[in-house]
Amino acid sequence: MKGDLFFVFVLLCLVAVFLAAGCTGNSQYNEQIQAPDDPVTYESADECIVPDATLDEKIGQMILVGFRGFTADNDSQIADDIRNGRVGGVILFDRDVALNSSERNIKSPEQVFSLNGQLKGYAENIPLFISVDQEGGKICRLKESYGFPAVPSAEYLGSMDNETVTRDAGSILADTVKDAGFNMNFAPVVDLMVNPDSPAIGKLNRSFSEDPVVVVRNAGWIIDEHQEAGIITAIKHFPGHGSAMADSHAGFTDVTDTWSEEELIPYQILIDEGIPDIVMTAHIYNRNLDPDYPATLSEKTITGVLRDRLGYDGVVITDAMDMGAISDNYGIKEALNLSINAGCDIILFANNIVYDERIAENATGLIKELVLDGEIPEERINESYERIIRLKMKYLGCE
């Protein structure tokens, strides 16, 4: 994010154009925005050949799941799912919400590293995404109490808005994730602090700022430090969760009267600079974008806004599909059908609010059924598979 005058000029022009296209104008956006450095270059995905795969294998790469256990023994369900290609990734948690228990997957650096080593070993053909939510502040699965280093919240970093401070925090986050054996961090949050009392964002100090310029700067520094360490990041929660008065973990969340297009600015600038590895969706409903479906299930929002309007062609992952906003209102088959046709590539089952040991087997079976019945075009599966594999090639290497 050192930037130079050319990049500053380009970014200022982008903001001006975006605001002119329909966002609420504000003189604060004329402040200098430093452009991020180019992402670290690993072995080019363009030099790798996307491997042929069966329909079952392609669908498996689209599933990312949570599971129970401090170990993943050879006869465990998750080991079987990985070996048999039913999942392309996993996510670890420190608490089991369904059991209201502090025992899930994480209790010490040594234990987590060993667990992740087991998981990697079961992925015989295509490397596994091994992910965690490690944002800093209150949202850390790798907690100080378990022996991991603490990092301040995004809100604190945004209030400082200092490159050295934020880069130091980003470096600690990235190194912590990497040293524990992960290759993906679901961070940073680029939601604007529209409502400080928003239960899922503002009250948890997860937003850098209400100012998109500050958000872009700090998110860019955090992402850059992760990319330097070889860690995949995911910006979230598209198209913006910062104005929500409800928590989509708990149920239906309507932002129709509080959301503004200003919340798209961080996505537009980061996408135009080619920064995001992954974009995570929000389960928020906004009838101005889609009168029928929440963002995760909305073709008008994911394909229409994120892909067509903002020009993003990378991997899109859903927020956890077992969150109340989805699971309380849609059956699993309907949710899979809508989210994939909307343009989502990876379907995340945190498997934590509710637990289904065979969620990967159930989900892959339902997706295949939807494809064979003509509800989901096979081309959509192919598109997602290629995006996922190219991201894995970029960070995890070619076969």
User: Catalytic site residues?
Assistant: 249, 319
Rounded to whole angstroms, the Cα distance separating 368 from 60 reads: 10
In this structure, what DSSP letter does residue 64 have? E
Instruction: Write phi, then psi, for 396 (nearest 5 degrees).
Output: -110, -5
Helix, strand or coil for residue 333? helix
Tokens of 78: 């998750």
What type of residue is 325?
A
Rounded to whole angstroms, the Cα distance separating 7 from 333 reads: 45
Tokens of 43: 């072995």
Helix, strand or coil for residue 63? strand
**Residue linked to tokens 């995404």:** 129
Assess contact for 131 and 178: CB atoms under 8 A.
no
DSSP secondary structure string for all residues of 138-156: TEESS-GGGTPPP---HHH
